[in-house]
Every structure is written in C-alpha cells, then in structure tokens.
Amino acid sequence: MTSLNNIVDKLKDVLSESISGKKVFDKHVAEALGIPQGTFASMKKRNSIPYAEILEFCAFKKISVNWLFFDQAIDMLKEETEKFFQVRYFSDIRASAGGGAEVFNENYETLSIDAKIIHSMVGLGNTKLEAIHIDGESMEPTLQDGSIVFVDREQTDISKNGIFIASTTGGLFVKRIQERVDGMIELISDNNLYPSQCISPYEVTIVGKVVGNIESL
C-alpha cells in the first residue's frame, strides 16, 4: 500500500528546488496542496491520501504521478504502456453542478496514471479518460463540490442511466440527463434543493459520461 509519508518526502524534494537554502516541512507541503495544516496532519496519521490535490500539484509542476506513487521512471512508462492510463487533465476547466461553466479547450496536461490507481478510484478499464473539476453542490451527495471527475467521451447515449457532462449555450454542466417525450432535454440534479432544467436538444451537446471521481477535501 502506498504510504502518504513516502509521498510527502518526495513532495518535499520537489518543493526544495523552489525554496533554496530552506528546510521544507509538512506545513510547506500542506500549503502547496492547498490543505489546512491541521487537516493534513490528521491525514498523515490515517494514511489518507489526498488524490485530487496531488493530481493537480503534479499537473502544475509537470511531474510524473507514477514516479510519485510507484517510483516508476518515464522510461518504464514507455516500456510498459499497456499498464498505464493516459488521462487528459483539464486543470483550468470547471464543469458546473450549479450555474454554467466554460467549455472544454485545448489547454490540458497528459497524466500517465498506473492502472492500479484508476481501478481503485473508478473500477474501469477504459484508457481514454479525461479529468476535470466540478463546481457547485447540485450533484451532492453523489459528487462533491471541488471533486475531480473522470469522463469517457465515447459514452454519449443519454438513454442509459448515469451522470453526463453537457455543453450548452449556458456553459458546461454535470448532470443526470433525460430526453422528455416532448423532445426537450432535462438536466437533473441529485440535490433536491436544485430544480431540473429543460432545454432544447439544439442547445446541448453531450460531451461524455462521468465514470468515476475523486473527492476533494
């Protein structure tokens, strides 16, 4: 099992390159991950790994997730590509669980993630996934505000149950989606405090199906 202590030691090595002449402590790691120090200390005691925050840190610093978790160098990734997922991570894009968000663009980082990690989080074998953040509380308790969701763009059939990412004239949404008998498209929230929305089928494009997620803190 991957130890958070080992990951923290590696993160300290990464951060030491930008903190010249100063010792790097846990508080610096917590700050870099955007986690309160008290919460981070509690996570270390429980060996509770903040996957979402670490993925975003890796994308920002352009370091290998596989090196961080499994000591696997880039050469090893090239030799055993069938064991890894290439996930396009759109760190700047937010799919809204409330109001509309921006559409997908071409600004993304490619993360090589060991299949073991993906299986532990989403339990699927699809190697063509994309990862984005969600904002808002309308999909709680299923999806928490700030979570990272994994999207399969090949699954766009809304007649099958599930949660989808939809691009609309109002922005990018993450919702359950149904086609009504009158042909209108209904965007449905899991949080019953948020009413459903109905839009014309000409105003929506199904981006893909949400197949897994990592909850943020």
Q: What residue spans define the domains of the chain?
A: 72-214
Contacts of residue 178, defined as CB under 8 A and 6 or more positions apart, other chains included, come to: 158, 185, 186, 188
CATH of 72-214, one of 3.10.20.30, 2.10.109.10, 3.90.1150.10, 3.50.50.60: 2.10.109.10
Residues facing residue 206 across a β-bridge? 166
Rounded Cα–Cα distance for residues 89 and 130 (Å)? 6
Token code pair at residue 168: 């609309």
pTM: 0.61
80-106: pLDDT as tens digits:
445 666 777 776 666 655 444 444 556
Rounded Cα–Cα distance for residues 15 and 36 (Å)? 17
CB 140, CB 192: distance < 8 Å? no
148-188: pLDDT as tens digits:
888 888 889 998 889 999 988 888 889 999 999 999 999 99
Closest-CA residue to 12 (of 68, 62, 50): 68
**C-beta atoms surrounding 29 within 10 Å:** 22
Rounded Cα–Cα distance for residues 123 and 108 (Å)? 24
Token code pair at residue 79: 């030799």
27-54: pLDDT as tens digits:
999 999 999 999 999 988 888 888 888 8
Residues facing residue 86 across a β-bridge? 112
- Per cent of the chain over pLDDT 90 is 24
CA 59 to the chain's CA centroid: 11
- Per cent of the chain over pLDDT 70 is 73
